[in-house]
Each structure stands twice: as structure tokens, then as C-alpha cells.
Amino acid sequence: MVISQEEHLKELSKDYRFDWKDESHSVFEPKRGLSKAVVEEISGLKNEPDWMRKRRLKALEHFDARPMPWWGADLSDIDFANIFYFIRSTEKMAANWEDLPEDIKGTWDKLGIPEAEKKYLGGVSAQYESEVVYHKIKKELDDIGVLFTDMDSALRDYPDLVKEHFGTIIPSNDNKFAALNTAVWSGGSFIYVPPGVQVDIPLQAYFRINAENMGQFERTLIIADEGSYVHYVEGCSAPIYSSDSLHSAVVEIKAMKGARVRYTTIQNWSTNVYNLVTKRAAAYEGAVMEWVDGNIGSKVTMKYPSIYLLGQGARGEILSVAFAGKGMHTDAGGKAIHAAPYTTSVINSKSVSKDGGRTGYRGLVRVEPDAHHAKSTVRCDALILDDESRSDTYPYIEVEDETASLGHEATVSKVGDDQLFYLMSRGLSEAEATAMIVNGFIEPITRELPMEYAVELNRLIELQMEGSVG
Amino acid sequence: MTTFDRAALDALPIAPGATGAIRERAFGQFEALPTPSSETEEWRYTDLSDFSLDFVPHMPGHDGGAPAPETGGLAASMIQHNSSVVMTTSGQDLDARGVIFCDLDVAAEKYPHLVEPHLHALVPTDRTRFTALHGAFRTGGTFLYVPADVAVEMPLQTLTYLDADGAAVFPHTLLVAERGAEVTFIDRYASPDLGRGLSDAIVEIVVGDGAHVRYASIQEWGAGVTHLAVQRATVGRDADFRSLAVGFGASLSRAEAETVLAEPGGFSEMLGVFFADDDQHFDHRSVQDHVAPNCTSDLLYKGALRDESRAVFSGWVHVRPGAQKTDAMQTSRNIVLSERAKADAIPNLEIEANDVRCGHAASVGPVEEETLFYLQSRGIPRDEAERLVVTGFFQEVLDRVTLEEVRHGAELAIQEELRRAI
């Protein structure tokens, strides 16, 4: 069937309410394609120290040398030569929403970020294209030494801290897309929480792509020092275009002795974004690391948040929700590497596919030799809403210590006819009933989200269910 | 290096019927195909890149060369000693009912219309370098054919026995059960401990519409043997296929077992028990491929590991588009008895239909110290307690083997293995 481009766009934008576009705001003429010169230019524009420039160039070599992943989703349509690797939208980062250009500010208003900041956030970072355009942290947090800034500023303001930790959890040659990020990274968050400090209101970053064929490569580094606590929340969206954009982030986290870090993502890119992200955390003695990972949008997602349990008694938890609708392939999951005694991990994955979408859980639980008395449970549940859709489960369990105890369970099912019948006999439409069942299905995960996000996730699911069921 | 060259091929006994052409084609494939690389997903846990194919390509056997197996309770039995089938017993009754049970090469000559459509249809020679090697150098093997609506009540069995150090054998079982037929077949593989040996095995099973086939393989190769096996069955409409794999022997065993649910209403049960010790390496791979709707498959593999052994289970459930009302289950359970043993489990699901019930479960864990303590506190020595725990662990699988002869054979093999190992 041949469909016109307008029809194609209309189809893509169905039920996606973040589909508005601002005028281009680039402060210089952006260029497509990737080369040594582009990497040098990004580094030059940011006035970076020499070690970072060299690191970027080395990473570009790794990127060029590595083959595309042969597993997971189909990435053969990514046209690396057609991507914008760096777009600067404003000359200066604002600490006040009013200082932003009118339509950029309008975008954040529509996303409700300033409103949320007032109500319940400890700090906000707002990235537009390649750079953070607005940034602010509550004064109380600033006063007790919590550092929360964008990565570019951190490299300038805390060079030693950044140099000490940058790329230590995810080396630039870790995988092809981590290498790409290291070469062209821009923006992202830097967080340092001093020993014993409990940041009891979430810090939030929001990532917005506006331009067509944009490549967004944010780089985030979080260090929670001994006995501290922080909850970081990120969200993202983009307008819908007829050709593809690329989002390839790297997130590195260190949860030091006794610290706890919770990292929550609600990913809702438009369905022309390739979302290829490397996220990894190291949890030291007695630390707790939690990934709460909601993947609702994007054309292709390949993302497996990992936890390296490096200290005795460390604990890791990964909660993952994946949704795939028409034309989407969401390959999500998680990894827990037990490298110390008495470490525990829990992975809980829920996926929903409909209208020909494909969801996957891909995971690894590994117990290294001498990581005695490690315990892990993995549970994956998948819901397939129609006969065109698909669900895959690829759980790897590798055990090199006899005292380890690991379990994995998975189920795949459809929405039960009896459940639907019951709800419809109470007067609900089929779409409402299905949305209610799906919301119930992912409830173990939404209840871990901050209230506003849980409501948002449920609303997204309802929107996705509308129209096409029945 | 390899001793499987043109001269060795030309020195083989003449290949009857169509097998000559298969042999030539497979030899070309063997020379062209690379050794499977551990860089690929299929071979990531078994690295054969340094595996030398320096074996005696063909070692004729002789009558009386293999220990006579117990034949009580069997309808018929066959012995292959090294590369040759040396003995077949077949009851008059079976012949009269049209059941064929004989050397595969004899069958290729006498019953080409029955053999040719099926030989290497389920496991093509170009699947891997090793299946190509098998296609080129196989002699002997088992052909079992059961005509429509014939029920053979007692099991049939083939023992493949290898006792020539440095030799290769290519066991092949081709089992064809026509519509409504019923049969049980047991493959046994055995050898003394050898310096080196290669068992490159293929099992092809066609379960016709409404047929009932039970298949058991009991692998007791000695140390030194590398066992590379591919078993593939296709299940017809409303047919059922029940298989049991018992694996104890060989230094390295890589066994693939695949069932294709090709027509509606099919049923497949795949059971496995294995015990690994010393530095044994077991790589078990399974496929439950649901092509047709309304089929059921259930897989349960249980393994116990000791010493420095390593075992990998990777299973796949595929539900193809349109295979609605599929009910598929896949379970892998492992107990680890010593601290240097390693166990991996990868139970995969790929599901492209929505009205299905699919699940999988995998676990790896130690023997509960409390259980052993309890038994020891009742005066049972630790070794005996360990044997009891492992026996109990395997019993869940054996309890599901309905045929007494098969279950009893497996239980005896397990007891013998545990006495030897613990």
C-alpha cells in the first residue's frame, strides 16, 4: 500500500500529544554528518580541556571501528550522515524561565515543567536539542553542598570530580553507541550528593528534541556519596517528523557505601526516534540502586539499565515497563552483575504490545565466582493485545558460585475475555476496559513512581489504548 | 587439521542408493563451512575453534565387539559397534505388521521410497560443519518405520558402542511413524573412557497425524568423547511426541533437541535429566517451535552439577504468527553441588500470536544445607545424603515417564552414575 507522506505523519502522530514544533533556534548554522572536524568543533565551542577533546577523538575511532550490533532491533535504517550532531539553541543557560526565547519557554509550559518545579521538585534541568537551556536547584539543597548542574557546566566548574569519574563505569569502547556518545556528548546532568545527605524531593531533567534529524547525546553522571540518598527523574519527548532522529545517551551512576539512588525514566519519544541508551550503575557496600524505567514511546528502543553490585550486601532493583504500538520495537530489560557476597537483585518487567508492535525483555543476571550467597529473582510478564503483535523474552542467567540462588519466571498472555466481559457488562467500553486491565497489569511499577508520574503513565497508556481496540 | 579428507571419504564402504549423492554433497559442504564460532549466539557457550578433527574417520566394528545390552522387555534391539551395525534382532511379529527396524544403509538400499523423503530432511547436512561431516562420513545408523495404525507396545532400542580410541562415530536415527502409529524407541550411547573420541549424532523423527511416539536417549559416553548431537522432530495433526534425554557421559556434550508443532492439535513433551561432574561441559539447547495453532508443548530439564563441571541450558519457545491457542511451558532447574561448578540458563520466548499461554521458569541454586544436615542427623553418611537429594530432584522428571521399561532404564542409569560420581 502506498500512502502519502501526510497520511504517514498523521498515522504516526495519532494520540501523541507532544507533537508541536518550534521554529529553529540554532544560534549557528548546524551541519549534518559526523567527522573528526565535527567532534573538534563541538569540543572547541565548549572550550573543553584537552583531555576531554582527546577522549572524544579516541571514542570516534572506537565508534568507526565497531560493527553495528547484530542482535536486538533492526538499526539498518539509521543514516548517520543525515543526523545533526550538535545544535545550540540559546547563547546562555537561563536560571529563570522568563529569560528563554518565547516559543522555547512555550514548549516547557506545555510540558508543565515550570508548574511541576514549583510544586514538588528539588531542582530542574531542561535540555533542548544539544544543551541545557534552563537550570535551577533549590537553595536549601545548594546550601548543603548538593551539586546538580548540567554536564557541560560541571566539566567547567568541577573539572577534577568529572575527570575522576567520567567514563569509569561505562568506558567509551563499551559498545558502539557509548562510543558515539563519548565522541559527541553534550548536555545531560551532573549530580553529586555529599556523605549522609538525603535529598528527599526528586531532582528532574527533561529532554526535548525539536529539530528533524536531531541527534541528542546527553551524558549524565551521578555520584551519591556514602550514606546519601537521591531520586532523579527524567522525561523526554519530541515532535513527529517523517524522517528519523537519534537519541543516544550515556548515564553513569556511583552509589557509594550505604547510599541509595533511585533513577526514574518516563521515555515518551515520538515514533521516529531511535532510542539507544547505555545506563549503568555501580553499587558499593550496602548500597541500594533502583532503576524505574518506563519506555512508552520511540520507534526503536534498545536499553538495558545495569547494576554492578560491587560491595558486600549491595542491592539492586530494576522495574521496567515497555510498550510498543504500531511500527515500534521496544527492546528493554536490565542487567544485574553480582560481584560481591550477599548481594541481591530483583528485576521486574512488564510489557504490552499492540497494533503490530514488538516488545522484548533482554536481561542478564550474572554471579561472579566468590560472590557467595547472592540472590536474584527475575519476573517478566507480557501482555499481547492483538494477533499482529509480538513479545520476546531473552533472559540470560550465568552462575559461577554454588551458593547463589537465582530464579526467573515469565508469562505471556492476552487480555482475558472474561475480564473484558465483566467490565463491559458494567458499562465500560472495550477501550476503557482494556486500558483499565493494562493499567492494573503495570500497577506494580506505577506505584513506585512519584504520584504525578504515575498519573501521567496511566494517562499515556489510556491514550495508547484509545481508538484501535475492538 | 582434519583427517576427514577426500582419501578417507573414498575409502568408506560404498554408499547405497541416494546416500552416495548425499555423501558427496555433504563433503563439499564440510569443506566449505567454517567451524562454528563462539562469537555467534548459538555457540557462545561452547568454543570449538581449537577442536582438532584428527580422528580415525571409519572404524569397522565386529559382532560381539559391544557388550550385549539387556534385551528383556524390548520388542527388538540393534547394536552398532564403532562404525558398523553388527547385530539386529527383530521379532517375526514386527515384520508381519510391516514394521521396519534395520541398519539405515540397508534401508536406503531396500526401501529407498521410505528413506529418501526423510533422510536429512529435518536436519539438513548444511546446518553446520558438523552435520555436514556427519552427512559425508556416516555409515550405519538406525531406521525405524511404523506403518499407519500399527501399535508396537514394547520399546525398540539401539546401542551405539564405541571402543576404538581416537575414532569417530556418526550415530543416526531416522524414525518415521505413519498416521495413527504408536512406537517407543530408545537410543543408548556408551563407551569406556577413551583418550579421544567423537560422536557426531543426528536424530530425525517424523510423527505422523494422530501418531504417538516416545523417544528416549541415554548418553553414557566415557571420558574423552566429544558428543555433538542434533535431534529434531516434527509433530503432525493431533499427534503426540514425548521425549526424554538422559545425559551423564562425554567430556563435552552439546545436544540440541527441537520439536516442530507443524499441525493443529499436536503435543510435545521434552524431558531432560543430566548430571555433570569432573570437568564435563554440557551445552543443552532446545527449541519448541509452534507453527500451527492449538498445540501444547512442555519442557522440563533438570540438572545437577559437581566438581568443576559446567552446564548451560538455552531454550527457545517460538510461537509463529497465527499459532493461536498455543500452550507452551519451558522449565530449567539446576542444583549446584560444589563451589567450582557453573550453571547458566537462558530460557527464551519469541511470541508472535496473542491468544496464547506461554511461560518459562529457570533456577540455579545450591542443595539446601539443612536438607543434608537433616539426613546426616538421621545417621545417613553425607555422600549417601547427597545421592538421595539428587535422586529426589530427578524423580520429578522420571515420574512423568509413563513407560515402565524406559523409566526403569533411566533410573538404573542414574543410580549407577551417582554411585560412581559421589
Query: What are the pLDDT digits (tens) for B195-243?
Result: 999 999 999 999 999 999 999 999 999 999 999 999 999 999 999 999 9
pLDDT value of residue B72: 78
- Best residue in B40, B320, B334, B351 for a mutation probing chain A (most A CBs within 10 Å): B351
- Best residue in B290, B310, B340, B349 for a mutation probing chain A (most A CBs within 10 Å): B349
Supply A343's cell numbers: 548481594
Q: Where do we find the cell 481508538?
A: A467
Contact of A462 with chain B, judged by CB distance below 8 Å, is answered with: no
Contact of A429 with chain B, judged by CB distance below 8 Å, is answered with: no
- Chain B residues touching A412 at Cβ < 8 A: 349, 351, 356-359
Q: What is the pLDDT along chain A (470 residues), one digit of tens a residue?
A: 455 666 666 665 666 778 888 877 777 777 899 999 999 999 999 999 999 999 999 999 999 999 999 888 999 999 999 999 999 988 888 888 888 888 888 888 888 888 888 887 888 889 999 999 888 888 889 999 999 999 999 999 999 999 999 999 999 999 999 999 999 999 999 999 999 999 988 999 999 998 899 999 999 999 999 999 999 999 888 888 888 999 999 999 999 999 999 999 989 899 999 999 999 999 999 999 999 999 988 999 999 999 999 999 999 999 999 999 999 999 999 999 999 999 999 999 999 999 999 999 999 999 998 899 999 999 999 999 888 999 999 999 998 887 888 888 888 888 888 888 889 999 988 888 888 888 888 887 788 887 777 777 777 777 776 644 33
Q: How far apart are CA A279 and CA A281, in angstroms?
A: 7
Contact of A416 with chain B, judged by CB distance below 8 Å, is answered with: no
- Chain A residues touching B361 at Cβ < 8 A: 407-410
- Chain B residues touching A397 at Cβ < 8 A: 344-346, 362, 364
Which of B345, B357, B366 minimises the CB distance to A397?
B345
Which of B334, B346, B352 minimises the CB distance to A395?
B346
pLDDT value of residue B371: 86
Contact of A83 with chain B, judged by CB distance below 8 Å, is answered with: no
Tell me if residue A321 falls in helix, strand or coil: strand
Contact of A375 with chain B, judged by CB distance below 8 Å, is answered with: no
Highest mean pLDDT, choosing among B44-58, B67-81, B112-126, B328-342: B112-126
Closest CA to A285 of A357, A340, A350: A340
Above pLDDT 70, what percent of chain B?
99
Q: Cite the DSSP H helix spans in A144-226.
A: 151-157, 159-165, 176-184
Chain B nearest-CA distance from A54, in A, is 31
Q: How far apart are CA B3 and CA B10, in angstroms?
A: 13
pLDDT value of residue B295: 97
Angle between helices A430-441 and A417-425 in degrees, nearest 10: 120
Contact of A437 with chain B, judged by CB distance below 8 Å, is answered with: no
Q: Looking at this protein, which amino acid is placed at residue A49?
A: P
- Which residues on chain B place their C-beta less than 8 Å from a C-beta of chain A? 41, 321-322, 324, 334, 336-366
pLDDT value of residue B267: 98
- Higher-confidence residue of A447 and B5: namely B5
Please, are residues A371 and A401 in contact by the beta-carbon 8 Å criterion? yes
Tell me if residue A26 falls in helix, strand or coil: coil
Contact of A412 with chain B, judged by CB distance below 8 Å, is answered with: yes
Supply B396's cell numbers: 520429578
Closest CA to B143 of B182, B185, B181, B180: B185
For residue B343, give the chain A residue with the closest CA: A399
- Chain B residues touching A357 at Cβ < 8 A: none
Chain B nearest-CA distance from A377, in A, is 9
pLDDT value of residue A338: 97
Contact of A15 with chain B, judged by CB distance below 8 Å, is answered with: no
3-state secondary structure chain B: CECCCHHHHHCCCCCCCCHHHHHHHHHHHHHHCCCCCCCCHHHCCCCCCCCCECCECCCCCCCCCCCCCCCCCCCEEEEEECCEEEEEEECHHHHHCCCEEEEHHHHHHHCHHHHCCCCCCCCCHHHCHHHHHHHHHCCCCEEEEECCCCECCCCEEEEEECCCCCEEECCEEEEEECCCCEEEEEEEEECCCCCCEEEEEEEEEEECCCCEEEEEEEEECCCCEEEEEEEEEEECCCCEEEEEEEECCCCEEEEEEEEEECCCCCEEEEEEEEEECCCCEEEEEEEEEECCCCCEEEEEEEEEECCCCEEEEEEEEEECCCCCCCEEEEEEEEEECCCCCEEEEEEEEEECCCCCEEEEEEEEEECCHHHHHHHHHCCCCHHHHHHHHHHHHHHHHHCCCCCHHHHHHHHHHHHHHHHHHC
Strand runs labelled E in A238-328: 245-247, 250-255, 260-267, 273-283, 288-295, 300-303, 306-309, 315-324
- Pairing between β-strand B76-81 and β-strand B84-90 as defined by DSSP bridges: antiparallel
Phi, psi (5° rounding) for residue A410? Answer: -145, 150
Q: CB-hemisphere CA count at 13 Å for A462?
A: 10
Does residue B257 have a pLDDT over 80?
Answer: yes
pLDDT value of residue A52: 97
- B417: pLDDT confidence band, cut at 50, 70 and 90? confident
Does the beta-carbon distance from A412 to B356 stay under 8 Å? yes
What is the value of ipTM here, to two decimals? Answer: 0.80
Does the beta-carbon distance from A405 to B346 stay under 8 Å? no
CA angle B186, B192, B194 (to 5 degrees): 125
Contact of A391 with chain B, judged by CB distance below 8 Å, is answered with: yes
For residue B359, give the chain A residue with the closest CA: A411
- Chain A residues touching B307 at Cβ < 8 A: none
pLDDT value of residue A237: 85
pLDDT value of residue A466: 61
- Chain A residues touching B337 at Cβ < 8 A: 402
Contact of A418 with chain B, judged by CB distance below 8 Å, is answered with: no
Query: Rounded mean pLDDT of chain B?
Result: 93
